[in-house]
Amino acid sequence: MTSRINRQRPFFLNLMAIRLPIGGIVSILHRASGAGLSLAVPVLLFLFSRSVRSPYYYDRVTGIFSHGLGWLIGLGLLWALLHHFLAGLRHLGFDFGLGESTEKARQTAWLAFGLAIALVSLVALASLMGGGA
């Protein structure tokens, strides 16, 4: 197997000069958001265990996400979840042979990318209006 791989293949990794198509951007963000969420799982589980323990801890946990850095991290996690979810639905579509043409694939990539950002912006706006942050 190994011997058939071209060892002299061109190697180009200038991140500032690479122009990734939208599908590539959505793909790398799918991976990055998945990695971030995976690392966050134990922390979120801890916060969940606190949130169902008593009214005091419930208020502590919701308080963390209501202002400042916690608010930003919460929105970041929400974006990661939404982007990963939407990009994942797109991949499930590919598995069933849906939207595989270049044009459709680009459209759904933009849709997943934009919808995740739009929904997070809505939540951010709603929490600001509701007196958060």
One-letter amino acid for residue 58 of the chain: Y
Over the window 94 to 123, marking each residue x when it contacts other proteins by CB under 8 A and - when it does not, the resulting string is -x----------------------------
Sequence-distant (≥ 6) Cβ neighbours of residue 40 within 8 angstroms: 77, 80
Summary count for the chain: helices (H), strands (E): 4, 0
Nearest to 76 by CA among 26, 131, 37: 37
Q: Which stretch binds other proteins (CB under 8 A): 34-42, 67-75, 98-106, 122-130?
A: 34-42
Q: How far is the CB of 74 from other proteins (least distance, A)?
A: 15
For 88, the token pair is 């994942």
Q: Which stretch binds other proteins (CB under 8 A): 67-75, 82-90, 99-107, 117-125?
A: 82-90
How many residues bind other proteins, per CB under 8 A?
21
For 104, the token pair is 């459709």
For 60, the token pair is 């502590």
C-beta closer to other proteins: residue 45 or 125 = 45
CA 69 to chain centre: 18
Residues in contact with other proteins by the rule CB under 8 A: 31, 34-35, 37-38, 41-42, 45, 48-49, 51-52, 54-55, 58-59, 85, 88-89, 92, 95
